[in-house]
């Protein structure tokens, strides 16, 4: 009854034509008088069930093939292909159809027939089936291979008639033995009676073609997150926003549910019956209960739609399912770790990651969470929890993993000073970062260090190594930036014979009894370097100030808080590249400003040569850093780390940074050539050259490359360093 088979047998468009014919015929049943309805009840029941099956199959195929707004097709009473309330809801409300469902799906064989292989739990299935109030059935929603009805028992228990949800497997899927067998054993395998389960729906009974369970009033996570996303950004669903508050609240609820799932499995007296693995953990299989807001996990076990036991394309929920489950592997003990990571991404961004790659927003604003997520969503189960291994790697605990998650979330919130919604702006929208030469890095590193120290006292720390090292270099770069800028501005004011009210300078001059000079530093000046002399010194002051502004921005934007040394020593050539990249990165924290200081304090005529040296160091930095990134990416792909994209174009910022190396080399050659000629006296247009270098530093390097393009390139740097840590663990 799938469209291709139907149309192949009865003609193109035959299934749609059949549905269009049957809908008015079945709806017309309501218009008949009582006598006519009684006469037509039997054929109506079977035809209506046939129509309901066709509608459900059409809806299932549409959800798996037609792009649609996330969450819309999961609303109760809403469908992509038909008026669900006006057709499905009306048909199920007819007693004749309810009685037909009771007959067709009955666990008892028709009169005169014997069941070939009576299954375990058949008696319970028959008993529960007979206890239903068939005339009270109501339509609830469509499933990927089923329809879900709602009803209540015929008899009351303690004065209450319990409500149930009845999941009816659609006819074509009941003929697949794998599905029939899994459905038949569902109640026995996932029975939680006698436990204090709060997050698992109690199963009443199951048969080859249906599952009977508690009805939970609530909405799926897909519906809730979609609704919140529409309220936030009108449904645009951009990945430039990260909701830390939602990530925390819903993440904790999910961890609680997984903890319970794991606990019940470990306490189960029947070994290997339950295993504690959901295996189909997706937003549509998590109901948020209206009563208490708890997460209710439904539809445990493999969805055979993903293992190709059922033909056709998969749904959007397939992105949340671990690759080993989709591949039909037997060992799926770590499958829920993958789903957990994807769901945390879903909570933070409002959408999952279809390609299994952590979204860029995490690398820009929440690097520590990106590191945590990468450790969950690797396609290989053996490479999950390489870093965050709570206890024995072979026997992980969701309870301990939750502690690690909260610790990393606390770190991110501390770094962002308690901000709950993080956004990233790229391109020209990033211009507001231009007013922060240090990109806020020293303060952020300090807050991270302080929070990590507090977590260490509580025994909850599992953070990135080299925290003290990175904090020290970030502060050193900031101090050098402040001293260099203060020195250049002070010397500029001295050239102009202006006083800026610096009482420390006045005091130093007074103590030295040399009102026109500064003690010690003025004695470093070479002969011919006179202060004040603004005409002779202004080119150096302009170029020096431009370097003192641009160089710290380059370091703090790209390298602050990152170190290639996380790779370790066991990766051969890649480890040597990591050491080289680390060395040049730290040199970039001090070298440019040191070159400015020597020209300002010692000999102003050195500025063309120092500029050339600075550009050469920058070119070396770009080349070594790029070589490290490319080596790590190549090694990650060689090892099969799925957290690194297989295509360079999908690694944000990599192609942009690849262009930095040749352009910086070209610029370094020009600066070295012209600077050498100026210093040797072959060229004399130092004003033109100084203006060109100053403009290049301010507009090209500070504004365009570091200001506008910096956040994008930093994504590549963060991805490379996180990948390096995982490569090191694999080694």
Which residue has better confidence, 148 or 131?
148
| pLDDT tier, 269 (very low <50, low <70, confident <90, very high otherwise) | low
The whole-number average pLDDT for the span 198-225 is 90
Residues 473 and 354 in one domain: no
- Among 47-56, 339-348, 531-540, which is the least confidently predicted range? 531-540
Residues 56 and 133 grouped into a single domain: no
Residue range 432-479, pLDDT digits in tens: 667 777 878 888 888 888 888 887 755 555 666 788 898 899 999 999
Which residues, at least 6 apart from 231, have a Cβ–Cβ distance to it below 8 Å? none
In a domain, 145, yes or no: yes
Q: Which of 325-339, 430-444, 452-466, 582-596 has the lowest mean pLDDT?
A: 452-466
531-558 pLDDT, tens digit each: 888 888 899 999 999 999 999 889 988 9
Domain match, 370 and 226 both: yes
How many other CB atoms sit within 10 Å of the CB of residue 523? 9
Encode pLDDT of 659-707 as tens digits: 998 999 999 999 999 989 988 888 888 889 999 999 999 998 888 888 8
456 is a domain residue: no
Look at residue 100 and tell me if it is in a domain: yes
> Percent of the chain, pLDDT > 70?
86
* DSSP sequence for 521-555: GGGGPPTT--SS-HHHHHHHHHHHHHHHHHHHHHH
DSSP result, 357-411 = ---HHHHHH-HHHHHHHHTT--SSGGGTTSS---S-TTS--HHHHHHHHHHHHHH
The pLDDT value given to residue 169: 94
Phi, psi of 57 (to 5 degrees): -65, -40
**3-state SS assignment for residue 211:** strand
Are residues 203 and 282 both part of a single domain? Answer: no
Q: Which of 11-25, 48-62, 262-276, 300-314 has the lowest mean pLDDT?
A: 300-314
Q: How many Å apart are CA 564 and CA 117, to the nearest integer? A: 62
> Is residue 146 helix, strand or coil?
strand
**Closest by Cα among 341, 308, 342, 340 to 325:** 308
For residue 305, pLDDT beyond 80: no
Helix, strand or coil, per DSSP, at residue 279:
coil
Q: Is the pLDDT of residue 233 over 80?
A: no
What's the confidence (pLDDT) of residue 74? 47
d(CA 690, CA 184): 82
How much is the pLDDT for 228? 79
Q: pLDDT grade, residue 76 (50/70/90)? A: very low
Looking at the structure, tell me whether residues 252 and 198 fall in a common domain.
no
| Percentage of residues of the chain with pLDDT beyond 90 | 43
Using CA atoms in the order 550, 553, 559, 560, what is the torsion angle rounded to 10 degrees?
Answer: 150
Domain range for 170: 117-215
Tally of structural domains, the chain: 4
Which of 246, 247, 253, 178 has its CA nearest to residue 208?
Answer: 178
The verdict on 636 and 664 lying in the same domain is yes
pLDDT, residue 117, reads: 54
The pLDDT value recorded for residue 313 is 52
Cα within 13 Å of Cα(197), Cβ side: 24
Q: What is the CATH number of the domain that holds 163?
A: 3.30.200
Average pLDDT, the chain: 85
Query: 435 in a domain, yes or no?
Result: no
């Amino acid at each position: 009854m799938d469209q291709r088979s139907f149309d192949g047998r009865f003609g193109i468009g035959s299934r749609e034509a059949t549905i269009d014919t049957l809908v008015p015929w079945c709806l017309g049943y309501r218009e008949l008088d009582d006598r006519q309805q009684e006469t037509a009840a039997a054929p109506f029941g079977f035809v209506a069930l046939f129509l309901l099956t066709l509608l459900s199959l059409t809806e299932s195929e549409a959800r798996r093939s037609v792009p649609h707004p996330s969450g819309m097709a999961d609303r109760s009473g809403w469908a992509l292909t038909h008026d669900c309330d006006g057709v499905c809801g009306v048909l199920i409300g007819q007693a004749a159809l309810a009685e037909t469902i009771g007959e067709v799906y009955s666990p008892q064989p028709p009169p005169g027939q014997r069941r070939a292989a009576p299954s375990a739990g058949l008696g319970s299935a028959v008993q529960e089936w007979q206890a239903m109030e068939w005339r009270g059935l109501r339509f609830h929603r469509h499933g990927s291979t089923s329809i879900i009805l709602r009803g209540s028992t015929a008899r009351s228990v303690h004065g209450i008639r319990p409500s149930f949800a009845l999941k009816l497997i659609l006819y074509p899927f009941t003929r697949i033995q794998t599905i029939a067998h899994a459905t038949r054993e569902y109640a026995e395998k996932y029975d939680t009676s006698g436990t204090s389960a709060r997050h698992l729906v109690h199963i009443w009974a199951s048969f080859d073609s249906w599952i009977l369970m508690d009805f939970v009033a609530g909405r799926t996570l897909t519906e809730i997150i979609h609704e919140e996303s529409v309220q936030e950004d009108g449904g645009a669903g951009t990945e430039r926003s990260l909701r830390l508050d939602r990530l925390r609240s819903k993440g904790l609820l999910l961890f609680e549910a997984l903890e319970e799932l794991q606990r019940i499995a470990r306490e189960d007296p029947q070994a290997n019956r339950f295993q504690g693995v959901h295996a189909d953990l997706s937003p549509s299989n998590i109901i948020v209960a209206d009563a208490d807001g708890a997460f209710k996990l439904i539809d445990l076990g493999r969805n055979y739609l993903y293992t190709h036991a059922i033909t056709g394309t998969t749904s959007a929920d397939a992105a949340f399912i671990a690759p080993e489950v989709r591949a039909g592997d037997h060992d799926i003990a770590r499958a829920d770790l993958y789903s957990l990571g994807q769901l945390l991404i879903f909570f933070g961004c409002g959408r999952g990651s279809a390609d299994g790659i952590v979204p860029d927003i995490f690398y820009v604003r929440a690097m520590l969470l990106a590191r945590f997520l990468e450790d969950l969503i690797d396609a290989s189960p053996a490479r999950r929890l390489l870093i965050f291994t709570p206890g024995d790697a072979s026997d992980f605990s969701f309870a301990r993993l939750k502690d690690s998650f909260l610790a990393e979330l606390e770190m991110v919130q501390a770094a962002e000073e308690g901000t709950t919604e993080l956004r990233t702006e790229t391109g020209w929208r990033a211009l507001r970062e231009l007013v922060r030469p240090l990109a806020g890095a020293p303060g952020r590193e300090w807050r991270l260090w302080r929070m990590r120290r507090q977590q260490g006292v509580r025994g909850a720390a599992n953070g990135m190594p080299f925290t003290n090292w990175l904090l020290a270099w970030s502060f050193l770069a900031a101090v050098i930036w402040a001293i260099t800028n203060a020195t250049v501005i002070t010397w500029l004011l001295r050239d102009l014979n202006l006083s800026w009210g610096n009482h420390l300078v006045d005091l130093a001059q007074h103590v030295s009894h040399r009102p026109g000079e500064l003690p010690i530093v003025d004695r470093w000046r070479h002969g011919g370097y006179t202060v004040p002399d603004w005409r002779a010194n202004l080119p150096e002051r302009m170029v020096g100030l431009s370097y003192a502004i641009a160089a710290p921005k380059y370091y703090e934007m790209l390298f602050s808080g990152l170190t290639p040394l996380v790779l370790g020593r066991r990766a051969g050539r890649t480890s040597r590249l990591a050491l080289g990249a680390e060395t040049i990165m730290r040199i970039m924290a001090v070298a440019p400003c040191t070159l400015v200081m020597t020209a300002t304090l010692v000999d102003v005529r050195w500025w063309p040569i120092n500029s050339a040296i600075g550009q050469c160091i920058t070119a070396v930095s770009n080349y070594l850093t790029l070589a490290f990134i490319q080596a790590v990416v190549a090694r990650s792909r060689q090892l099969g780390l799925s957290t690194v994209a297989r295509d360079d174009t999908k690694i944000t910022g990599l192609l942009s940074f690849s262009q930095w190396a040749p352009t910086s080399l070209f610029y370094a050659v020009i600066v070295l050539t012209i600077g050498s000629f100026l210093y040797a006296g072959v060229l004399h247009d130092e004003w033109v050259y100084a203006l060109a270098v100053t403009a290049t530093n301010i507009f090209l390097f500070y504004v365009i490359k570091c200001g506008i393009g910096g956040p994008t390139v930093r994504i590549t740097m963060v991805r490379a360093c996180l990948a390096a840590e995982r490569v090191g663990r694999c080694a």
